[in-house]
Amino acid sequence: MSQTIIWTIVILTVLGLLLSLVLYLVAQRFKVVEDPRIDEVEKVMPGANCGGCGFAGCRAFAEAAVRAPNLDNNYCPVGGNEVMGKVAAILGYEVKAKAPEVAVVRCNGTCSVRPRTSNYDGYPSCKVKAALYTGDTGCSFGCLGCGDCVEACQFGAISMNPETGLPVVDEAKCTACGACSRACPKGLIEIRPKGPRGMRVWVSCRNQDKGPAAKKACASACIGCGICAKTCTHDAIVVENNIAYIDPAKCKLCRECEAMCPTGAIHGINFPKPLDKEGIKARVQERQKKAREAAAAAAAKPSEETNEKEDK
């Protein structure tokens, strides 16, 4: 009996050793050697795991940055240029400084200009609300007001204004991670360059209905009239699908479009002086008058030359 127990123990011990050896060899054969720089990069990351960089989290970003040949397509919006400088130093890469960005709300439909047509009495979620119907007002493109963007923000940079019913972005706290933008089912929050000294101009509307319908739904809607595009001398504004859009890369912050907009759909903020609408309108009208006169003179010139040739 004792020999049976001894042999059993010996066999199990030998079998355990053999299996351990097999597992060790398999582990060595298929082991993945991880670049130690991944840990170094992860340590300098902000640890927000917000997904603003386009990856699942800071660890995934670090892995992608180490594998990439450069940092041109990798940027952490939360850490900004400071963190990216540290990442570049670890990896031995060069990184170009990026202009700071901020979230802007592209809806101008406050409670006073966008009358309600119905009352929602369900789960307070913009996503759920958007799946059920177009919203409480006549504008099917406007803010739904349930605050999904507020819940999505990890930095407390966005809140709902009870008077206007619209979200408000605190640019001092905003990291431009894009979580609020992704949470909005209407696509009303855009990440734009912060601008020099925080000055920026944008069209605060996404209504793609034709002018009369848009104006009926919201008194402050963009009606696609194109006055802003005709006013801009920098080709920074395009009107597509009945809605104007200002290209931040081309905008010179002259605010002429803001002054000329008939509905107030264009917003400019953080400018040192208040908008002089009348002065800007007078300047624009004078410039347009001179342009018409110059065009008329240019059109008349060929006719005069033709008449002179005929007289000769």
pLDDT category at 54 given cuts 50, 70, 90 is confident
pLDDT surpassing 70 at residue 215: yes
Of 29, 34, 100, 113, nearest to 67 (Cα)?
A: 34
Type and span of the H or E element at 27: helix 2-30
pLDDT surpassing 70 at residue 1: no
Query: What CATH number matches the domain at 195-303, 3.30.70.20, 2.40.10.10, 3.40.50.1980, 3.30.750.210?
Result: 3.30.70.20
Going along the chain, which residue ranges are E strands? Answer: 101-105, 158-160, 167-169, 189-193, 200-203, 237-240, 243-246, 266-269
pLDDT surpassing 80 at residue 280: yes
Give how far Cα 273 sits from Cα of 55, 212, 260, Å: 41, 33, 17
Encode pLDDT of 70-87 as tens digits. 998 899 999 999 999 999
pLDDT score, position 309: 55
pTM, two decimal places:
0.80
Residues 284, 60: Cα–Cα separation, whole Å: 51
Kindly list the domain boundaries of the chain, sorted by start residue.
Answer: 37-91, 103-191, 195-303
Asked, colleague to colleague, whether 103-191 and 195-303 share their fold, the answer is: yes
pLDDT score, position 160: 96
Q: Which CATH class is domain 103-191?
A: alpha beta
Query: What CATH number matches the domain at 37-91, 1.20.1440.230, 2.60.40.10, 3.10.25.10, 1.10.15.40?
Result: 1.10.15.40
Conformational region of residue 104, where left means phi above 0, alpha means psi within -120 to 50, and beta covers everything else = beta
pLDDT score, position 12: 85
pLDDT surpassing 60 at residue 63: yes
pLDDT surpassing 80 at residue 214: yes
Average pLDDT (6-19) is 85
Encode pLDDT of 127-180 as tens digits. 999 999 989 999 999 999 999 999 999 999 999 999 999 999 999 999 999 999
